[in-house]
Amino acid sequence: MGKSPQLRLRCPAQSQYVAPVRHALGAFLAALEFERQWREDVTTAAGEALANIVEHAYAKQPNDGERYLELLAKLDRKGRLSLEVCDGGSFVQHQPVPGRGFGLRIIRAIAAEMSIDTSDGTCVRMTFARKR
């Protein structure tokens, strides 16, 4: 039996890497022949999670440690896309600020399922129903 297609990327948690990671995810989904609008929705959700890492994950940590972001996209046998966006930092629950803080709400609106694991850094796990 063949392995399911997957994409794994890891790079420094810096803003200049967010767009290339999103583009790589979009190219991965395009190669699997997913519909354009669906790809855009998935990359938007991923971009929100990636931006949260850059802005928040390492804010309370000293600058001497590794600051990374990691994305793992896998297609399961039923055609669902599982997406993990992770870091080695700390999850920060902020008080609402007018005009800000929509990232997790956007992800929840787009993904079929979403969860956050903070046991070792922060990992936002999302599942998307397959559309071609």
81-87 and 113-117 as β-strands: parallel, antiparallel, unpaired? unpaired
The pLDDT tens digits for 69-89 are 999 999 988 889 999 999 998
- Domains of the chain by residue range: 6-128
| Residue 42 near residue 21, CB atoms below 8 Å | no
Q: Is the pLDDT of residue 131 over 80?
A: no
**Spatial contact of 54 and 69, defined as CB atoms under 8 Å apart:** yes
> How far, in Å, CA of 31 to CA of 2, rounded?
17
CATH 3.30.565.10 correct for 6-128: yes
Q: What is the pLDDT of residue 70?
A: 97
Which pLDDT score, from 0 to 100, does residue 130 have?
72
Q: Report pLDDT for 95.
A: 56
As a whole number of angstroms, the distance between CA 20 and CA 37 comes to 19
* pTM for the whole structure: 0.86
